Amino acid sequence: MSCLMVERCGEISFDSPDQNAKCVRMLGDARVRGQTGVLSERRGSYPFIDFRLLNNTTLSGEIGTKKKVKRLLSFQRYFHASRLLRGIVPQASLYLLDEDYLGQARHMLSKVGMWDFDIFLFDRLTNAVGVKGNSLVTLLCHLFNVHGLIHHFQLDMVTLHRFLVMVQEDYHSQNPYHNAVHAADVTQAMHCYLREPKLANFLTPSDIMLGLLAAAAHDVDHPGVNQPFLIKTKHHLASLYQNVSVLENHHWRSTIGMLRESRLLAHLPKEVTQDIEQQLGSLILATDINRQNEFLIRLKSHLDNQDLRLEDAQDRHFMLQIALKCADICNPCRLWDLSKQWSERVCEEFYRQGDLEQKFELEISPLCNQQKDTIPSIQIGFMTYIVEPLFERWAQFTGDTPLSENMLNHLRRNKAKWRSLLHKQHSSSRSNDHSGQVTGSQEQTLNEEETP
């Protein structure tokens, strides 16, 4: 007897002519390869489900009913999860973290509130067997515990882990930028912002959970292209959401689908879960860059009039929206080495879209032409018109805290470095345009121009 497949929709099909057992997916998806092993299709799937147990069992015997098959799979998941909760590191392929890196990852989590947190290193340290990284799941489990959300909302740890695995795996790891590592980076930034005294003194557990969930899922299932691309190619998502906040609506609806499928909040009253779903939507939709001016104007008005009342749930929610917007575009405010990596990744994603548009003879979108749009010029424009206005207002709101000053200092230094690199590119381009013969005086002039 052998399992033929485990489909993404959650069905488990057996090749018995008189028996076809189906079991709802519980903790991640997997596919059975051949008759001897399991091939996990989605990154970070945990725990490992060894379907060889089923291969050696006669369906007409011990597990002759769907209920018993489900009980077997459920027990296996509970057993491995309970070992994890008791602090027992699973062996062989039952890893949440690779044992070699477990101690280093734990050490990093002890400093998760520091702005110089290196999410790329953390992602490498949270390698699970056979997957690239497990940073989003590991980070969220830790932060839910740190903020007391598991106890406050009486969340089941196995169900929480299952939901987070679903979120992490629905990010596209092939995207250079919009992937689970970006989601983890935004979540870590959101954690830092939630600790700012001006905001932290008023936040409720619901506010904190909403902020972390929205940060983790704000780009889930991102296709690696922008909204104009979806619209001009008549993508079904553009039609579904009538060309308005297409990606953000998709991220939100996908998150709600996973929340319901996982039943993470099923024990809460219906009106509470409905309110959480709506507020999640409001937060995620706020990340639409096309609404940047709308939020900036409103924030400026509140700050100028000094009429923000964070005792009011509506004002707190607005500031959570601003915090998420800041977290989403905070890359230029990171240390140069981290910021530069993110800049190169997002531009690589832009260029891939441009190549795709060129291939299908579509007009190349702004910032997506690798021959014309250089990384320094893209980043300088982004910092000048998008990042600086938002973070200056955020600093005004927080009262120029050490974190806000640190971010603005990084932003200014990084912008200066990109300007220096752009200047060097222009100098190099001018020298290449010459006939190839450069006099000594000209060479000296060029060298002087290249000096920042």
Does the annotation place 218 within a ligand binding site? yes
Residue type at 401 in one-letter notation: T
Q: How many Cβ atoms from other residues are within 10 Å of residue 155's Cβ?
A: 18
**Rounded Cα distance, 403 and 409, in Å:** 10
- Rg of the chain taking only CA atoms, in angstroms: 25
Are 28 and 165 within 8 A, CB to CB? yes
Does the annotation place 379 within a ligand binding site? yes
Cα atoms found within 13 Å of the Cα of residue 351, Cβ hemisphere only? 14
Does the annotation place 304 within a ligand binding site? no
Are 55 and 3 within 8 A, CB to CB? yes
Are 407 and 115 within 8 A, CB to CB? yes
Does the annotation place 107 within a ligand binding site? no
Please write down the long-range contacts of 148-154, taking CB distance under 8 Å and 24 or more positions apart: 148/205, 149/205, 149/208, 149/209, 149/212, 152/205, 153/205, 153/209, 153/265, 153/268, 154/267
**Rounded Cα distance, 312 and 271, in Å:** 20
| Tokens 């515990």 found at | 145
| Phi/psi of residue 131, nearest 5 degrees | -130, 165
Rounded to an integer, what is the distance from CA 101 to the centroid of its chain? 22
**Rounded Cα distance, 193 and 329, in Å:** 13
Are 407 and 333 within 8 A, CB to CB? yes
**Rounded Cα distance, 85 and 157, in Å:** 8
Give the active site residues: 178
**Rounded Cα distance, 411 and 333, in Å:** 5
Both structure tokens of 229: 């691309």
Q: Which residues of 264-286 are buried (b: 16+ CB within 10 A; e: fewer)?
A: bbeeeeeeebeebbebbbebbbb
Are 380 and 422 within 8 A, CB to CB? yes
**Rounded Cα distance, 253 and 260, in Å:** 11
Does the annotation place 180 within a ligand binding site? yes
Does the annotation place 406 within a ligand binding site? no
Does the annotation place 116 within a ligand binding site? no
Q: Which helix (H) or strand (E) holds 6?
A: strand 3-6
Residues making up the binding site for Zn(2+): 182, 218-219, 328
Could you list the residues known to form a binding site for AMP, using ranges: 178-182, 219, 328, 379
